[in-house]
Amino acid sequence: MNLSIERENQRINTNRVVVSGEIDVFTAPEFKKNLLPLTELNGGALILDLNKTNYMDSTAIGVIVAALKSSVKHHCKFSVVGLTPRIERLFEITGLTELIARTQVGGGDTNE
Amino acid sequence: MGTMEDGPQLATYRDLLIRYMTHESELVIEESELLSDFLQEHGVSPADLVTMHLEVMKQTRTLDRATLRSMEFLINMMAGYGREYWEHQELKHKQKQLDKEIDVAAEVQKALIEGKVPHCDFADIGAISEPAKKMSGDYYRIVNDGKRLAVTIADIVGKGIPAAMCMSMIKYAMDSIPENKQGAPSSILANLNRVVARNADSSMFVTMFYGVYDPVTHVFSNSSAGHEPGFYYSAQQDCFFDLEARGMSLGLASGSRYKEYARVIEPGDMIFLLTDGVTEIRKDRDFIEREHIIKLIRRSMHLPAARIVRRVLYELKRMQHFELTDDFTFIAMKF
């Protein structure tokens, strides 16, 4: 797994995290360590770019769920872009797609 | 620690070293490896070994002062490595103890998972579950209370001990839900979702499929909480269908509601349930597609259910060179 954090120019508190390679049970802790602090920037925005991610397992989904819950708590706009068909299917089945959609509407119906 | 008297260890070392120095080097290699293993097992540290070496050299050669001094210097240097070595030995010891504890925990877990497949007059059922490591994050349960057949399959995110602990929680939650015996799949999942959402860490979630078959009406009803769809085989059409069901994984959001799906099962129909350890299997670089799993099932579906599951597991393991990368659970029901 390779992870880069880019600060988008147009807005100061907008970060884009690009992950390439594989996020699995071994790399998920590092993924979490990098991702979670970015969700705690009050009023900021975080874009997770998975365009170059060729594999993720359910541990990675778990990290994204934690990031989603944390961003709701900190009023940080969290979005995921660049899903490959396989990852999109994983998001669909587990219900993550629906959860992301709900938080973007502003419902914030997560359990925290 | 080995002492540097002219003991058997030193004698053996001297013998090998002399033979090595006098052109028997090729022949001695294998023996020296054996001796090295033996010395390590008997707690001879790196510094001890160099001391031994110096001792032999002093006995067999006249060493000039510089060489002698250099060897003493080396012994001092090795002392640091020695500390590492002892720490390593201690860690190895601790690791062994930990392994033993995990073995015990794995046994307890095995007892927790109700691996028994109940006898059923109206269906032939087979189930198999194999952890990738010692502890499993998969869970399944098949209950036949005489009136209904209830089947649960679940996959806890992650692997190893944390997943196993969460699995135990699920098991007890299922046992304690009062509607468990009579409940509809949708209400059981909604109840379990509350338990997981309340008790699990924010990055923890569980996918679960819960299905109930009524042998009188022949209706199979089910709900799914984010679980990999199973397969439904229609004997009349000789065709496999996804056992499609949608719902949020347990623990993602509080108050999740679950849709219930129902279908009439005809004699000869089959249902196959699996965890995503099955579909996330990668054969070298490519994923194994669901179509491929259907092919595997087709090849053995004429067999009794218990043999189908064993065969499919074997085939999938073979593709991964007999090393499971994820927990794997597979259930077959022939009606």
Nearest to B284 by CA among B319, B252, B257, B232: B319
Mark yes or no for CB contact B249/A70 under 8 Å: no
Q: Which CATH architecture has domain B113-334?
A: 4-Layer Sandwich (3.60)
pLDDT interval class at A107 (50, 70, 90): very low
Say what the ipTM of the complex is. Answer: 0.82
Nearest CB neighbour to A57, from listed B198, B229, B280: B280
Superfamily of domain covering B8-104: KaiA/RbsU domain (1.10.1240.30)
Write the single-letter amino acid at A110.
Answer: T
How far is Cα B101 from Cα B104, in angstroms, rounded to an integer?
A: 5
List of chain B residues whose C-beta atoms are within 8 Å of the C-beta of residue A86: 287
Q: How many CB atoms lie within 10 A of CB B269?
A: 20
Cα(A51)–Cα(A18) distance, integer angstroms: 8
Domain boundaries, chain A: 2-105
Q: What is the dihedral of CA B106, B107, B109, B110, to 10 degrees?
A: 120
- What are the per-10-residue average pLDDT scores of chain B (335 residues)? 62 90 79 89 86 91 91 89 83 91 84 78 92 82 88 84 82 73 83 86 88 94 94 96 92 91 95 79 65 91 95 86 79 96
Tokens of B73: 């210097």
- The torsion angles phi and psi of B207, rounded to 5 degrees, stand at -105, 140
Alpha-carbon gap, residue B327 to B332, rounded angstroms: 17
* Chain A residue with minimum CA distance to B195: A111
Element (H, E) at B293: helix B290-300
Flag if A102 and B253 touch (Cβ within 8 Å): yes
Distances B321 to B238, B266, B293 between C-alpha atoms, Å: 32, 38, 17
Test mutation, A94, A97, A110, A112, chain B, max B CBs within 10 A = A94
* CA torsion through residues B89, B91, B97, B102, sign: negative
Contacts of B282 in chain A (CB under 8 A): 55
Using CA atoms, how far apart are residues B93 and B90, in angstroms rounded to an integer?
5
Q: Which two tokens stand for residue B165?
A: 């602990």
pLDDT tens digits, one per residue of A72-88? 889 988 999 999 888 88
CB distance B205–A109 less than 8 Å?
Answer: no
Q: In chain B, what residues touch A66 (CB-CB under 8 Å)?
A: 201-203
Determine the topology of domain A2-105 in CATH.
Transcription Regulator spoIIAA (3.30.750)
Instruction: Among B225, B253, B276, select the one facing A109 at the smallest CB separation.
Output: B253
Domain ranges of chain B: 8-104, 113-334
